Structure 1
Amino acid sequence: MSDRQALVIGASRGLGLVLAGELARRGWRVVATTRQSGGRLRADADASNGQLTVESLEMTSPGEVTALRERLTGTRFDLVLVNAAIDRGDLPIAQVPTGMFTEVMITNALSPLRVLEAFRELVTPGGTVAVMSSEQGSISLNTEDGYELYKASKAALNQLMRSYATRHAGDGQTKLLIDPGHNQTQLGGPDAPLLPEESIPAVADVLEAQAGAPGLQFLDRHGKTVAW
């Protein structure tokens, strides 16, 4: 299975970093993106015997997305996964500055779909396009206070992914929204109950198990459906 190839967008740290390494260990050839040179991702790539390569990308820049698409023309991916996201704290929505709202929505909702649109033609027949979402984006499960902007951005992401799946319903590609659980990352905070090294192997299991499945699914790291 060493001919499988994946593109992981947003892998400089946290979930994306661990996922890129996990897929490489499973025999995937992985292209992983980062906004910054050096760091842990570069070190992992240098030690991977060619299984992991690094590309530079600022996901919110349409020009950089286009440039990466051009650099990767001719490559075919069995998986394209967008992981990148930001959080700007726990403000009630009425206190959120307009600039902050725009920044979070562009990063967490608009840019991932721009990436999928840009790279979908590089995905193999029967391949997978996926986005790292969150239970926080579930409207029906939003029963606790807090993090209103982040929740809204993930709900918007889920809705845009639903529209994407409807528009491309006949392309034969698997489409996934993945809830990896609450992890100890820069975004998830130090008190989160999970470590990426614990949750990401399960996420990789889901990605592999769902390959070829029709339609759009919103799944957790155990492969169970998350309520919309």
Structure 2
Amino acid sequence: MTVLVIGASRGLGHALAAEYLGRGAHVVATVRGSARTPLHELLDTAGGRLEIEQVDITRPEQVRSLRDRLGDRRFELLFVNAGITNPQEETSADVSTEDFTRLMVTNALSPLRVIETLGGLVEPDGTIAIMSSGQGSIANNERGGFEVYRASKSALNQLMRSYAARHREDRRTLLLMAPGWVRTELGGPDARLTIGESIPGLVDTMDAQRGRPGLQFLDYRGETVAW
């Protein structure tokens, strides 16, 4: 299996790349800058099955350059992992326009631009997936908090539904994945799940959905998340 993971320098993206390497896949994974990251530490044990590319997905010209470098290569899975957050207590009344725009561009617009640019590299029976969040569920928002982050993930989900509608004849599997609240730099130290409790289940879920065309919003246990 050949996998392309966008955004794998650390956290959940890094764990996803490591999980697929552990399952014998060939992984092409990206980092944003030129500095050494935890992903680079996997090179020594990957047996030549890990390639690292550099791309900042908020820069469309860099995404196009990556597409050119990948040429005619094909992948069974394209996974786009991108996410930044804002303080939990910061509301739409408090957030600056600059920070609001930054979250929306990073969490919603850029992942879809990546799919538009790189989606053609995915096999006809392959999978295109994005890291969403249960906080992107409008129906399940009973507590509030992280208002702008929630809004950015809801926007991501809506954009992906529009993509699916425009490609309704496409036979590939389309997934929005909710990993749960995980203890990472983004999730924070109080999160309920470890990476080891989330990512293997998330990979199992994605692999089980291969060959089922259309869009689904699923969590790491394989359960449907309410829109």
Match runs of 1:117-136 below 5 Å = 117-136=116-135
Q: What's the counterpart of residue 57 of structure 1?
A: 55
Percent of residue pairs bearing the same amino acid type: 54
Shift of 1:125: 1.0
Q: List gaps (5 residues or longer) in structure 1.
A: none
Report the AA paired with residue 30 of structure 1.
V
Q: Specify the SS of the correspondent of 2:93.
A: helix
Q: Provide structure 2 residue ranges, at least 5 long, that are not aligned to the other structure.
A: none
1:40 aligned partner: 38
1:82-140 CA-to-partner distances (Å, cap 9, x unmatched) read: 11110121201111100000000000000000000101111001100000101100000
Deviation at 1:74, TM superposition (A): 1.3
Specify the alignment match of 1:167 in structure 2. Answer: 166
Question: Secondary structure at 2:124's aligned position in 1?
Answer: strand
Residue 226 of structure 1 is matched in structure 2 by 225
Equivalent in 58, 76, 95 of residue 74 of structure 2: 76
**Alignment RMSD:** 0.8
What's the offset of the Cα at 1:145? 2.3
Normalised TM-score (structure 1): 0.97
TM-score, scaled to structure 2:
0.97
Aligned length: 225
Q: Which residue of 1 aligns with 2:16?
A: 19
Large movers: runs of 4+ above 4 Å = none
What amino acid is the match of 2:106? T
Indicate the residue corresponding to 2:25 in structure 1: 28
- 1:86 maps to which residue? 84
Any idea what SS the aligned residue of 1:96 has? coil
> Partner amino acid for 2:115?
L
Indicate yes or no: 2:165 matched with 1:148: no
Report the Cα offset of residue 73 of structure 1: 1.2
